[in-house]
């Protein structure tokens, strides 16, 4: 188990280096002069631009620039916002709790929907229940998440007026209002994720339920509930775990759109605002942070995989 963890950590190192390099390269895509942008745009004097260039290290060789960028990461220095001069790290850490609570809640919603739906569908393939689950999940995969959000706002906020349409209340201020402000965003992001997880769980359960040991377990007279719960799920869940790992990328991306719809002050809305302000350091910071989250989650998924499937530990 430890060896698996060590090996996975080792593979992550070059990936992390390349990720930072890609984000570093992004700056080279920008049209015009980033130093001028940092100095305040068109109206900035040549002196200010030169000062900004020096301050940002843009007058250095590119590999020196990259080294500063890379080493800055380890001291928690991602630069400062061009716009507010706030350190990027503090801008991100201010926002990240909102996005993480959005994603965590969405994942809970997704699993609460997908696991029972996937099991029901897999137990009787071809039945009406199976077809309904497959149809809804196919539609769910094909719907943009913001369309789901829009329909939910239409129904629950405008017609039924149960939940607020937009806005965010911090949990310190009022736990119930915090919860209410997040219900629709959770459902929006959760539905989309549920569709994919349900499809995967169904496929991998179907595969497992066909195996000999399941037949043996059934023949021994073990009830269906514990055949599925104890024998099938543990084996069917490993591929699903991979999907959940992939879903984290999707959920993080989804925050961009969902936070925009519901006006939540998270990472996603920070990114969008930064893009419109051309606040390059913030965009770079968010890109690195989200990639880091994905890498860490995938590491955890791999380790969990090893726990669920002992064969992989030795490999």
Partner 1 sequence: MSVEQDVVVTPVQADRIQARGPAPRVGFGRRFLRQRGAVIALAILLVITAAAVLAPLWTFHDPNGGVLSDAFSGPSGSHWFGADDLGRDVFTRMVYGARLSLGAAVIAVGIALVIGLPFGLVAGFAGGRWDTVIMRVNDALMSFPPLILAVSIVGFLGASLTNAMAAIGIVYAPRLMRVVRGAAMSIRQETYVEAARMMGVPARQIIGRHVLPNILSPLLVEISLSLGFAILAEASLSFIGLGVQPPSASLGSMLGDAFRYLRRAPVFAIAPGVAIMIIVLSLNVLGDGLRDSLGRRARR
Residue from 275, 300, 303, 308 that binds partner 1 (CB under 8 A)?
Answer: 275
Task: Please count the other Cβ atoms lying within 10 Å of the Cβ belonging to residue 6.
Answer: 9
R_g of the chain computed on alpha carbons: 24
Residue from 1, 9, 30, 175 that binds partner 1 (CB under 8 A)?
Answer: 30
Q: Which residues 282-301 are close enough to bind partner 1 by CB under 8 A?
A: 283-284, 286-287, 290-291, 294-295, 298
Could you say whether residue 280 binds partner 1 (CB under 8 A)? yes
Three-state secondary-structure class, residue 209: helix
Q: Which residues 81-120 are close enough to bind partner 1 by CB under 8 A?
A: none
Cβ pair 49, 33 in contact under 8 A: yes
Residue from 36, 68, 218, 278 that binds partner 1 (CB under 8 A)?
Answer: 278
Closer to partner 1 by Cβ: residue 131 or 230: 131
CB of 223 to partner 1, least distance (A): 28
Closer to partner 1 by Cβ: residue 123 or 294: 294
Closer to partner 1 by Cβ: residue 46 or 158: 158
- What lies within 8 Å, CB to CB, of 1 at 6+ separation is 303, 306, 307, 313
Closer to partner 1 by Cβ: residue 153 or 241: 153
SS3 content of the chain, % helix, strand, coil (to 5): 80, 0, 20
Closer to partner 1 by Cβ: residue 51 or 203: 203
Cβ pair 277, 84 in contact under 8 A: no
Could you say whether residue 260 binds partner 1 (CB under 8 A)? yes
Q: Which residues 158-187 are close enough to bind partner 1 by CB under 8 A?
A: 158
CB of 207 to partner 1, least distance (A): 9
Q: Looking only at Cα atoms, what is the longest distance across the chain?
A: 84
Closer to partner 1 by Cβ: residue 32 or 116: 32
Could you say whether residue 256 binds partner 1 (CB under 8 A)? yes
Could you say whether residue 281 binds partner 1 (CB under 8 A)? no
How far CA 239 is from CA of 120, 205, 301, in Å, comes to 18, 10, 10
Give the C-alpha separation, 221 to 215, whole Å: 10
Nearest Cα to Cα of residue 78 among 280, 291, 213, 230: 280
Could you say whether residue 36 binds partner 1 (CB under 8 A)? no
Residue 264 Rama label (left phi>0; alpha psi -120 to 50; beta): beta
Q: How many C-alpha atoms does 25 have within 13 Å on its Cβ side? A: 6
Please give the residue ranges that form the binding site for partner 1 (CB under 8 A).
14-16, 18-19, 22-23, 26-27, 29-31, 138-139, 141-147, 150-151, 153-154, 158, 248-254, 256-257, 260-261, 271-272, 274-276, 278, 280, 283-284, 286-287, 290-291, 294-295, 298
């Amino acid at each position: 188990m430890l060896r698996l963890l060590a090996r996975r950590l080792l593979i992550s190192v070059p990936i992390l280096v390349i990720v930072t390099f890609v984000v570093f390269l992004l700056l080279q895509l920008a049209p015009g002069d980033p130093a001028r942008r940092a100095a305040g745009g068109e109206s900035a004097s040549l002196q200010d631009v030169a000062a900004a260039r020096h301050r940002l290290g843009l007058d250095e060789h590119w590999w020196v620039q990259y080294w500063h960028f890379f080493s800055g990461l380890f001291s928690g220095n991602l630069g400062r916002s061009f716009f507010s001069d706030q350190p990027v790290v503090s801008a991100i850490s201010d926002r990240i709790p909102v996005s993480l609570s959005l994603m965590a809640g969405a994942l809970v919603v997704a699993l609460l929907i997908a696991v029972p739906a996937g099991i029901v569908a897999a137990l009787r393939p071809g039945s009406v229940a199976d077809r309904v689950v497959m149809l809804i999940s196919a539609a769910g995969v094909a719907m943009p998440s913001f369309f789901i959000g829009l329909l939910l706002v239409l129904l629950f906020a405008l017609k039924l007026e149960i939940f607020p349409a937009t806005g965010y209340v911090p949990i310190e201020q009022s736990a119930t209002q915090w919860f209410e402000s997040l219900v629709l965003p959770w459902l929006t992001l959760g539905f989309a994720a549920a569709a994919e997880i349900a499809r995967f769980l169904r496929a991998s359960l179907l595969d497992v339920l066909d195996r000999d040991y399941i037949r043996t377990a059934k023949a021994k007279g073990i009830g269906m509930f514990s055949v599925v719960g104890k024998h099938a799920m543990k084996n069917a869940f490993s591929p699903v775990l991979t999907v959940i790992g992939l879903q984290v990328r999707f959920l993080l991306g989804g925050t961009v759109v969902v936070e925009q719809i519901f006006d939540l002050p998270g990472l996603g809305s920070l990114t969008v605002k930064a893009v419109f302000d051309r606040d390059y350091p913030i965009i770079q910071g968010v890109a690195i942070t989200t990639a880091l989250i994905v890498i860490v989650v995938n590491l955890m998924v791999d380790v969990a995989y090893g726990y669920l499937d002992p064969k992989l530990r030795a490999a």
